[in-house]
Chains A and B, each alone.
Chain A
Amino acid sequence: MQMPEPNPDILARKAELVARLRKVLPRDSVIEDPVETRAYECDALTAYKCPPLAVLLPASTREVAEALAICHEIGVPVVPRGAGTSLAGGALPTADSVILGVARMTEVLETDYDNRFIRVQTGRTNLSVTGAVEEEGFFYAPDPSSQLACAIAGNIAMNSGGAHCLKYGVTTNNLMGVTMVLMDGTVVELGGAHLDAAGYDLLGLVCGSEGQLGVVTEATLRILRKPEGARPVLIGFDSSEVAGACVSDIIKAGVLPVAIEFMDRPCIRATEDFAHAGYPDCEALLIVEVEGSDPEIDEQLGLIEAIARRHDPVELRQSRSEEESAAIWKGRKSAFGAMGQIGDYMCLDGTIPVSALPHVLGRIGEMSREFGLDVANVFHAGDGNMHPLILFDANKPGDLETCETFGAEILKLCVEVGGCLTGEHGVGIEKRDLMAHQYGADDLSAQMDVKDVFDPKWLLNPAKVFPLDVSGARRAA
């Protein structure tokens, strides 16, 4: 992965930078010791590492603004960091950059059940947002699988999704407002406790901008009342084509499940060996979950069952209790852990039109044989967001590179059939060099125009999202 050469002038000014930052931040909020900064050398994309110049852990919007103003003046690149769980390298530092982490900003600022929102500092974890409101029967809907650890700041940066977004939408659909600090230290408020901000939808633009437009320090999030209940049905099929057709029929029938999860045979086998969830040994397995009161759930599951029966399932198991629901979800929830037991894996995140599912799965199988690497598929079938897991051996020379090439081919295939490179993980550095496969020159230049307006010096989260050759002239300007 190519990264820009560190700026020697910035490296030489480290002492001055640290001294100035210490004037506005408490002593323990500025980390410069090379042993301690190593802890921030990567995020969850661990194949790439680079310790930053320093790490800042401010405690308030004011401290963030003062720190950014100093970095802006000196010309130091800043890499915003939530909890460091990005799978795309979204928080990977450069050697001449400062990490600005929001980990100490975890307060709940306001909770309003009448108007159904919560305002938090963005270092708070996704799950603890729900934790703050669940006693009153409410929850925060986006549920990325890293939700125990990941921060709202990162969720906003990547516009995170989750298993339940088929019904509830992703982060951008549940974000009502932000307090954001621009690179020069200016604080802006976008949106709030009302719906649909005045002026351009800058809130929508900022969400998913991968920390390149500003540092979001506070967020107003929509909270929802928990449904009365939820139960899944597990359906096994002899072919993934048939499973795909079943998904399409369920959607067309007017049922709106909260989740439709899909696993293929390699994934089913791996999870069975690991979690013993009692899944059938078949080509494709769907877990479809619906919500409501008990009779409402029965009605919806009955309808789904009737649709599924028309596709000759090899197994159909409707949950009747919490225990049965937990058993059905057990394998799916341990899928990533199970794959990790087998070996190293790379998790992809392309989205495809649901109608292209059988074709894409078929092509992935063929490519798997060509590249000599196994693939297991587990994904959110309702919205076409795929997570192929490519297995490789990190200790075998060349295997990672083969895996990356294979992964890139799968993502190109996603684009080819009308989909996209990333559905919920973000571009980061991982998919940066593939951007030109999805977008033409004018499409990318329009996006970079936005970057120019918010961060004219291109200091925020450098070397991400846009291919370096495409952004070179603007970065140098």
Chain B
Amino acid sequence: MTPETEAELATIIKKAEGPLRIEGGGTRPIGGASNGARLSTSSMAGIELYEPGALTLVVRAGTPVSEIEAALEAEGQRLAFEPMDHRGLLDTDGTPTIGGVVAANVSGPRRVQAGACRDFLLGVRFVDGQGRIVRNGGRVMKNVTGYDMVKLMAGSYGTLGVLTEVALKVLPRPRATGVLLCEGLDDATAIQVLCRALGSPYEVSGAAHLQRGLDGAPVTMIRLEGFADSVAYRAGEMQKLLADSGTFTLETDPDRTAADWRYIRDVEPFHGRAGAVWRLSVKPTDAPGIVAALPGAEAVYDWGGGLVWLLMPEGTGGTEIRETVAQRGGHATRVRGAGTDAFPPLAAPVAALQAGLRQRFDPRGILNPGLMAEA
């Protein structure tokens, strides 16, 4: 089913007699596809409003991300939360949609500075499991009118409602990008360096560490963005600040810096390789210890260590990973690989609240059943 209007979608949901598998472009089957009838938002597409001077964009949920990026590019703007393209990692094809990005709260390397998808989401429209058409938030930057269900919808994987329209804050594209690169640091040193970089006044917009760079050696990367002179100045200061830990060289070629961060954003080191892929959200300084405690793990560290992508040998149990994370705080999601426990389990009182919300918004349990941890 591919409804073209919100009203049509509401009718489909009201009349549904069984589970529905909600899909944007179908490029992010995290947690496995549920077995319901396919309900695609891809025909509810198009930019409704774009005001570059107000930094606001209102789009229908099925709009391809590429279409949005092209429209923004023409005005020298962008989605600052740098949404990841999952196709390479998950070996999917199809067209990623903005509704899918929001439903999974997909954020890239710049999350560490600019914020997550949810931080740029100004408003939503959705149809819940009862067929109610609900609007929350709006199209303005500051809005505390009523409860913030905009945040609730971001990352709820379609289990509370099917998004039909989202309003986003966009930002200007910086004039220049500089990437500082250092080879050969071990994990613990690299994370320490990234903590110092992020704790400096030089506005780091990307902080990553690869255990294996393109030539096999570890690479630590720090991104600076802004006006060209400012980037050059901050890069110089950063090199001085980190001189005792290693030699950082500056890359400013626009194509190469863009490729460098796409490599991190889309977790390219794990493309086409066997094994399960896990995504860990942890306190940055805990990250190297967690990785070291998991035999056979290969890691890509983003967000200064706060986000860890793990490639694990096929068959590694989720329990071991989750227990290692739980000892220190944080959570782990299996993004690729077999099993039914992709989403992290929740503490009992939080699980009860989540189940309560789900019951309210989808009393028949028809929206993406099986996704998100259930109580």
Contact = CB atoms under 8 A, between A and B. Distances in A.
B128 A446 contact: yes
B372 interface: yes
Contacts of A293: 230, 233
Interface string B346-365: 11011101101100110000
Interface residues of B, number: 84
A442 B131 CA distance: 10
B245 interface: no
Interface in B242-263: none
A207 to B, nearest CB: 7
B144 A354 contact: no
Given A114-B284, A186-B349, A453-B353, A447 B147 contact: yes
Nearest to B195: A114
B37 interface: no
B199 A188 contact: no
Contact of B134 (A161, A296, A427, A446): A446
A208 B346 contact: no
A169 interface: yes
Contact of A200 (B150, B349, B354): B354
A159 interface: yes
A173 B52 CA distance: 22
B105 A196 contact: yes
Nearest to A418: B139
B329 A199 contact: no
Interface in B161-186: 171-175
A115 B144 contact: no
Interface stretch (B17-25, B64-72, B84-92, B115-123): B115-123
Interface stretch (B1-9, B152-160, B214-222, B267-275): B152-160
Given A198-B343, A355-B53, A447-B149, A158 B144 contact: yes
Contact of A248 (B54, B140, B144, B156): B54
Given A115-B285, A300-B227, A446 B142 contact: no
Contacts of A198: 281, 331, 333, 343-344, 346, 373
A468 to B, nearest CB: 15
B133 A442 contact: yes
Contact of B171 (A256, A299, A453): A256
A418 B54 CA distance: 12
B144 A116 contact: no
B199 to A, nearest CB: 5
Contacts of B333: 198
Interface stretch (A34-42, A46-54, A224-232, A369-377): A224-232
A253 B172 contact: yes
A353 interface: yes
Given A198-B343, A248-B53, A450-B147, A165 B142 contact: yes
Contact of A252 (B53, B192, B357): B53
Nearest to A414: B140
B138 A418 contact: yes
A440 B125 CA distance: 12
Contact of B147 (A201, A208, A384, A440): A208
B361 A425 contact: no
B143 A199 contact: no
B143 to A, nearest CB: 5
A182 B333 CA distance: 27
Contacts of B36: none
B337 interface: no
Given A192-B329, A225-B200, A384-B141, A443 B53 contact: no
A219 interface: no
A431 interface: yes
A397 B145 CA distance: 31
Interface string A137-150: 11000000000000
A10 B200 CA distance: 55
B372 A445 contact: no
Given A201-B154, A353-B56, A422 B145 contact: yes
Given A384-B54, A427-B145, A427-B146, A193 B283 contact: yes
Interface string B21-57: 0000000000000000000000000000001111110
A254 B148 contact: no
A393 interface: no
Contacts of B303: 195
A453 B53 contact: no
Nearest to A184: B349
Interface string A420-432: 1111111100010
A445 B155 CA distance: 22
A173 B75 CA distance: 26
Given A383-B141, A423-B140, A204 B134 contact: no
A172 interface: yes
B111 interface: yes
Contacts of A351: 140-143
B53 A201 contact: no
Nearest to A197: B331
B142 A385 contact: yes
A424 B144 contact: yes
A245 to B, nearest CB: 8
Contact of A196 (B51, B155, B284, B354): B155
28 contacts: A113-B199, A158-B144, A172-B151, A188-B353, A193-B283, A195-B303, A196-B155, A196-B281, A198-B281, A199-B350, A199-B354, A200-B156, A201-B151, A201-B152, A201-B154, A204-B118, A204-B154, A205-B152, A227-B201, A251-B55, A256-B172, A354-B51, A383-B140, A384-B140, A418-B138, A418-B139, A420-B145, A442-B132
Given A423-B143, A453-B356, 13 more contacts: A161-B142, A173-B115, A188-B353, A195-B111, A196-B116, A207-B148, A252-B172, A295-B233, A351-B140, A418-B138, A418-B140, A425-B144, A452-B360
Interface of A: 112-116, 137-138, 158-159, 161, 165-166, 169-170, 172-173, 182, 186-190, 192-205, 207-209, 225-228, 248-249, 251-256, 292-293, 295-296, 299-300, 351-355, 380, 382-385, 418-427, 431, 435, 438-440, 442-447, 449-454, 465
Q: Which 9 A-B pairs have the closest CB atoms?
A: A204-B151, A248-B53, A254-B172, A423-B142, A198-B331, A383-B141, A453-B356, A198-B344, A194-B330
